[in-house]
Structure 1
Amino acid sequence: MTAAAARPLGAGAAATILILLIAASLAVGVGDVRLHQLTSDAEAWRLMLASRLPRTLAALLAGAGLGVAGLVMQALARNRFVEPTTAGTDQSAAAGVLVATLLFPAASLPAKTLIASGAALAGTSLFLSVAHRLPPNQPFLVPLFGLVYAAVLGSATAFVAWRMDLIQFYEIWTRGEFSGVLRGRYELLWISAAMVALAFWAADRLTILSLGRDVSVALGLDYEGMMRLGLVIVSVISALTVVVVGAIPFVGLVAPNLVTRALGDDLRRAAPWTAVVGASLTLACDLIGRLVRFPYEIPVGVVVGIVGAALFLWLLFGRRARG
């Protein structure tokens, strides 16, 4: 089978897996509700609309958004080993939520999201300004700096939260979990879908941006403007995820690498399937967390951390094995 013929089959398989995961997510829960009961049981409909459907949609939106945010982040940094969690974006967003909680305790969720987005934008801008000054012939320096930078931001935020007796809230912001998602508590994540659409609209220019400043300017691209747009996309998606469900690691690292490994570096081709893979990975890990200790749950951030780390090591050593 040729590569061109194999790609539609792979795309069809990915879409089928996502549909099956959505059906499984809707069917799994502590309440004894079966999908066939929806035609005759009003109580089953209420439970589905109030809890299971919002949780499934939240996992879909968060996973798809984080996957595309990672893809855009890698284009901005021109490095395949970075993502919002390992570049200080999520930690900056958590710091923004902490500041909003301390200064404006009665602020609404959208207001906290706005402050967190601003903090994430500032933190990510600082990371990129340093990352672009690192030697381009040593790509591992960028993720190493990102890990140190994220650790410093996270530690400083955790210290302030501890001193202000907010450490429990800080753990919620930094540990992804869908157990508290109900109708009325996840709708802000639809803004992530708008950011994904914006990334797809600007995909061609983001692809040129990933070639570097000199090439981008030579091709007539507004380099600074596209950098700002990419930063806004990454920051808003990361802040929304942190505020609504908490930080979820590795999705923005693994999903883009899996897709670009098969489809190449063209963001217009890669972005839709990165969203599908990110959503599938998040949904699958959420299901694992719900089933391993049923009826109790393991936070999705813990499961994604284990599964994502294993997938990333496979990608890393597989790349080395190919020379």
Structure 2
Amino acid sequence: MARGAELDVAGLSIPDKAWLSLAMGVVLLIAIGSLAVGVVSLSWASLLTSDYDADTLLVLLVSRIPRTLALMLSGISLGIAGVIMQLISHNRFAEPTTTGTVESASLGMLVLAILAPTAPLLLKMTCASLFALLGTLLFLHIISRAPLISSMMVPLIGLILSGIIGSVSTFLAYRFDLLQSLSIWGTGDFSSVLQGRYEMLWIALALTGLAYLFADRFTVAGLGRDLSTNLGIGYRLVMTGGLIIVAMITAAVVVTAGMIPFIGLIVPNLVSRCIGDNARRTMPWGAVSSAGLVLLCDIFARLVRHPYELPVGTIAGVLGCLVFLLLLLRGRSSHA
């Protein structure tokens, strides 16, 4: 018993905790590197002297540090959202951008922009969360009734649903001259993230912490309704809680900088292939890996056309599409 307690602390064995600490250190180094990348050259040496450069400190506090924190918080939240979506939908290809959740959140933002253009951020997040929840429920309702010949049918249905919801949003945006806003919500762009414009993501971080507290319940719920009920788990309650968490995380990211596609698909799949499907173990790895991936995508987006930059969502989308296709082809060959 003592040996087990020594090797298993908070659901992570000692080797797991050591490797996870190393991964967190690597992500921290990437985050420090992210602070040094930008159009404005910073005088780092001046910060270590009493006669420091006020402009350098201002850029760090107002722009660079908030942007880096926003990137990390977005990555952590989307990684956890992907783990939850794959468990509650019983499919490895499910995540907010393949289930219509992102398009539904954007539609909610659009409706509120039409009805109340000056609404505060909290109201925008609430409206986007409600629409994201309804869109995800519609997706789950469709796949529960559709004849699923293979696991690849689930993402295909989700992409079709996303296209339908996106078409409705595009039509409304065209009628009310909001096409530019709609494009921003659909593509993650952190160039405008400043101090005072990213704090909504701390709510998403709190939701990821809540999801980790109930990680074991999500794992059991991922095994199916009957087994969950036999083990004394409230299947419907767990499913509802998971959907609410995913919807609110998606809304927080969309409201802050727009959506970063496929992060919740790439990382959870790679992590589960390495360490299994136990959410208690995969969630910390998914959070750390997603944060590192988003930071790397942002650094590449800022360097590829320096001093100009590409949206982070564009880089993540290209990378995500490639990995998504590889996963689909791998899944198809394994079922052949």
Distance 1:122 1:168, change over 3 A: same
Report the alpha carbon displacement of residue 20 of structure 1 after superposing the two structures with TM: 2.0
Mapping of 1:1-323 within 5 angstroms?
11-39=20-48, 40-135=52-147, 138-317=150-329
Distance 1:187 1:8, change over 3 A: closer
Contact 1:81 1:253 in 2 (8 A): yes
2: CA distance between counterparts of 1:124 and 1:319?
24
1: CA distance between counterparts of 2:328 and 2:157?
18
Report the alpha carbon displacement of residue 19 of structure 1 after superposing the two structures with TM: 1.6
Report the alpha carbon displacement of residue 38 of structure 1 after superposing the two structures with TM: 2.3
| Paired residue type of 2:309 | E
1: CA distance between counterparts of 2:43 and 2:88?
45
Contact 1:213 1:223 in 2 (8 A): yes
Q: Which string of whole-angstrom CA distances, capped at 9 and with x for unpartnered residues, describes residues 188-234 of structure 1?
A: 00011001101101100000000111111111111111111001110
Q: Which string of whole-angstrom CA distances, capped at 9 and with x for unpartnered residues, describes residues 113-160 of structure 1?
A: 111101101111111122223446621111110010011001111111
Contact 2:43 2:53 in 1 (8 A): no
Report the alpha carbon displacement of residue 316 of structure 1 after superposing the two structures with TM: 4.5
Report the alpha carbon displacement of residue 322 of structure 1 after superposing the two structures with TM: 7.2
1: CA distance between counterparts of 2:310 and 2:195?
21
Q: Which moves more between the two structures, 257-266 or 313-322?
A: 313-322
Q: Which string of whole-angstrom CA distances, capped at 9 and with x for unpartnered residues, describes residues 148-178 of structure 1?
A: 0011001111111011111111111111100
Distance 1:290 1:89, change over 3 A: same
| Paired residue type of 2:41 | D
Contact 1:27 1:34 in 2 (8 A): no
TM-score when scaled to structure 1? 0.94
2: CA distance between counterparts of 1:49 and 1:25?
14
SS at match of 1:259: helix
Q: Which moves more between the two structures, 128-137 or 242-251?
A: 128-137
User: 2:5 — aligned with what?
Assistant: none
Structure 1 unaligned runs (5+)?
none
Report the alpha carbon displacement of residue 313 of structure 1 after superposing the two structures with TM: 3.6
| Paired residue type of 1:71 | V
| Paired residue type of 1:173 | W
1: CA distance between counterparts of 2:332 and 2:161?
26
Alpha-carbon RMSD: 1.9
| Paired residue type of 1:30 | V
Q: Which string of whole-angstrom CA distances, capped at 9 and with x for unpartnered residues, describes residues 235-271 of structure 1?
A: 0000111111001101010011111111100001000
Paired residues, what number?
Answer: 320
| Paired residue type of 1:83 | E
2: CA distance between counterparts of 1:148 and 1:26?
39
TM-score when scaled to structure 2? 0.90
1: CA distance between counterparts of 2:310 and 2:216?
39
Contact 1:134 1:142 in 2 (8 A): no
1: CA distance between counterparts of 2:286 and 2:158?
22
| Paired residue type of 1:195 | L
1: CA distance between counterparts of 2:56 and 2:297?
25
